């Protein structure tokens, strides 16, 4: 029997009691490994195998030398102002250019006939003049017509009397206010409404605002009611008949308006 013992600290190579490292058991199907790594090998933090993707534009990005062809504004920056659409075209309402443009009447209704305009103006004159004639009785407005003498000085003094002046102011206010208010409301006095036409701004066909309606009425009525009762209406009538192409009287030219079919 051999008494040789192995050196201390060095077990024999075939020692059956030697603890050998345990081989890892492959995980079963559908269960993650003990360390929490998903079955496909993706790390727990979601980073794909091989590390994070490289920074920079993805493959197939815009070609060098300019923005992609789908950018209609030619801007590659991220600023929202660089990608704002171009400003809209100037306001247009279906009519032509501005006053004095190529054709301001393009798209507007046809101009009113001169004969119908004259008839409408006569109707408007009657609508205002008849009530004024009744109101003028207490103001002795018919004194000159009923006087037996022909003294020019007395006639002038009578005309310059206080009652005559008050009635003249009432007449001016009545005609100007009638034309201004109804024109600014819908472009139609009562005479124009009966004859189916209206006043419109030349630049866009809209109803004249109060300022333009007042200017139009003042130019139309004030000279006739102060000093030129026959000459001024005749001058306006002639200009309406001969003016081309808009048939504008002096009052229309001052307010930049036209009279069109309603």
Domain ranges of the chain: 114-261
User: How many CB atoms neighbour CB 223 within 10 A?
Assistant: 17
Phi and psi, residue 211, nearest 5°: -65, -45
Q: Return the bridge partners of 199, or none.
A: 259
- Write the CA distances from 48 to 27, 29, 33, 36, 53, integer angstroms: 21, 21, 17, 15, 8
Q: What local confidence, expressed as pLDDT, does residue 215 receive? A: 97
pTM of the model as a whole: 0.57
Note whether 212 and 257 are within 8 A (CB).
Answer: yes
61 half-sphere exposure, CB direction, 13 A CA radius: 10
Task: Please report which confidence band the pLDDT of residue 136 belongs to, taking 50, 70 and 90 as the band edges.
Answer: confident
Q: What is the pLDDT of residues 24-58, one digit of tens each?
A: 555 555 555 555 555 555 555 555 555 555 555 55
DSSP state of 189: -
Asked if the model's pLDDT at residue 145 lies above 70, the reply is no
Q: What is the pLDDT of residues 191-240, one digit of tens each?
A: 999 999 999 999 989 999 999 999 999 999 999 999 888 899 999 999 99
Q: What local confidence, expressed as pLDDT, does residue 19 receive? A: 46
Among candidates 205, 204, 203, 208, which has minimal Cα distance to 183?
A: 208
């Amino acid at each position: 029997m051999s008494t040789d013992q192995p050196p201390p600290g060095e077990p024999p190579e075939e020692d059956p009691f030697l603890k050998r490292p345990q081989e890892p058991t492959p995980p079963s199907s559908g269960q993650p490994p003990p360390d929490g790594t998903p079955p496909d090998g993706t790390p727990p933090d979601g980073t794909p195998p091989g590390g994070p993707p490289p920074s920079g534009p993805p493959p197939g990005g815009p070609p060098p030398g300019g923005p992609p062809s789908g950018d209609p504004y030619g801007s590659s920056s991220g600023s929202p102002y660089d990608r704002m659409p171009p400003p809209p075209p100037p306001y247009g309402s279906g009519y032509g250019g501005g006053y004095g443009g190529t054709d301001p009447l393009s798209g507007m209704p046809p101009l009113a006939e001169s004969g119908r305009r004259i008839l409408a103006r006569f109707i408007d004159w009657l609508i205002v003049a008849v009530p004024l004639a009744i109101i003028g009785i207490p103001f002795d407005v018919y004194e000159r017509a009923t006087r037996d003498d022909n003294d020019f000085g007395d006639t002038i003094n009578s005309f310059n009397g206080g009652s005559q002046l008050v009635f003249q102011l009432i007449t001016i206010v009545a005609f100007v206010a009638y034309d201004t208010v109804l024109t600014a409301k819908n472009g139609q006095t009562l005479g124009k409404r009966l004859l189916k036409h209206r006043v419109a701004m030349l630049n866009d066909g809209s109803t004249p605002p109060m300022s333009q309606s007042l200017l139009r009425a003042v130019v139309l009525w004030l000279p006739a009611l102060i000093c030129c009762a026959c000459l001024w209406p005749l001058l306006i009538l002639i200009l309406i008949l001969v003016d081309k192409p808009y048939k504008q009287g002096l009052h229309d030219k001052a307010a930049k308006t036209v009279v069109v079919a309603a």
